[in-house]
Amino acid sequence: IPTHIYADAKNASRAVAHEIAELIRSKQREGKMAVLGLATGSSPKTVYAELVRMHREEGLSFQNVISFNLDEYYPMEPNAVQSYWRFMREQLFDHVDIPAGNYYVPDGTVRPEEVAEFAKQYEAKIDAAGGLDFQLLGIGGNGHIGFNEPGSLINSHTRLMMLDNSTRAAASSDFGGLAKTPRKAITMGVASILSARRVVLMAWGERKSPVIQEALEGVVTEHNPASYLQTHPNALFVIDEAAASQLT
Ligand code: F6R
């Protein structure tokens, strides 16, 4: 997988934001929509900050953007402080001119018996939009992409996923302890992610260096779902020097 290594997350994020901006602008020139798959968590915050800056200072418009987020905790109310819907509004959507109704985040309020149908419709909406032009990813310390935890299959689709203990532990400070941290999430599947025409995975910091080494240099395995990106024809890893420190 092609890998670009930057001195720090800020410079790396700027490069990712510029690729997204260039996609949006080239679609504008063609009179088309740009269909983005977006991620939450700490890694993309600097990318969204740069996109907001480009909107404010350089007139980058999001009028022709339609976006689908990877995942949402389950259950989760959209206005809860930990919700990914709220995260996306605070980090990006409230600060740019994306039309209301053009962005989707999996709905953490659907009833358990409705999740399968919801998931099917989420994917149908992506298909109806023409498929993902670009998918932005972070990576969990256990190799998860979206919330496709180890054991997820390459042909998995959008579904309800049991979260790993390590994933819950990493999130527990946001929820006031492990006991209050959700056990599940709705996530786009590995196949849904791999169907994107372009996939960019970001990782910052020493903590991610072992899993990055494994994903890039190890075998393709369900034990590290990010390794599935080795099978994608147009994937890119954008990492900082600390995250690259275990590459051979
Ligand atoms: C979030 C997501 C997750 C995160 C991953 C890394 O939408 O899909 O896979 O990208 O857990 O999180 P951070 O960036 O907080 O280290």
Threshold 0.95, pTM exceeds: yes
Residue range of the domain that includes 230: 3-240
- Report how far ligand 1's centroid is from the alpha carbon of 71 (Å): 9
pLDDT digits (tens, 9 = 90+) for 105-155: 999 999 999 999 999 999 999 999 999 999 999 999 999 999 999 999 999
Residue 39: give its domain's CATH number.
Answer: 3.40.50.1360
- Give the distance from CA 58 to its chain's centroid: 25
Determine, yes or no, domain membership for 115.
Answer: yes
Determine, yes or no, domain membership for 247.
Answer: no
Contact 12, 204 (CB under 8 A): yes
Active site amino acids: 149
The two structure tokens encoding residue 14:
């700027």
Residue 168 class from Cβ within 10 Å (0-12 exposed, 13-18 middle, 19+ buried)? middle
Percent of the chain with pLDDT over 90: 100
As for how many domains the chain has, the answer is: 1
pLDDT digits (tens, 9 = 90+) for 2-38: 999 999 999 999 999 999 999 999 999 999 999 999 9
Q: Are strands 34-38 and 65-69 parallel, antiparallel or unpaired?
A: parallel
The two structure tokens encoding residue 132:
């993902």
The two structure tokens encoding residue 79:
């206005």
Q: Exposure pattern of 6-45 as b/e (b: 16+ CB <10 Å)?
A: beebeebbbbbbebbbebbeebbeeeebbbbbbbbbebbb
- Report how far ligand 1's centroid is from the alpha carbon of 29 (Å): 32
- Report how far ligand 1's centroid is from the alpha carbon of 153 (Å): 19
Determine, yes or no, domain membership for 141.
Answer: yes
Residue 187 CA, closest ligand 1 atom number: 8
Residue 1 class from Cβ within 10 Å (0-12 exposed, 13-18 middle, 19+ buried)? middle
Contact 186, 120 (CB under 8 A): no
From 68, 144, 161, 209, mutation site for ligand 1 pocket: most ligand atoms within 8 A of C-beta: 144
**Spatial separation of the C-alpha atoms in residues 40 and 12, rounded to whole Å:** 17
Determine, yes or no, domain membership for 25.
Answer: yes
Determine, yes or no, domain membership for 233.
Answer: yes
Q: Whose CA is nearest to atom 1 of ligand 1?
A: 40
pLDDT digits (tens, 9 = 90+) for 42-56: 999 999 999 999 999
Ramachandran region, residue 59 (left: φ > 0; alpha: ψ -120 to 50; beta: rest): left
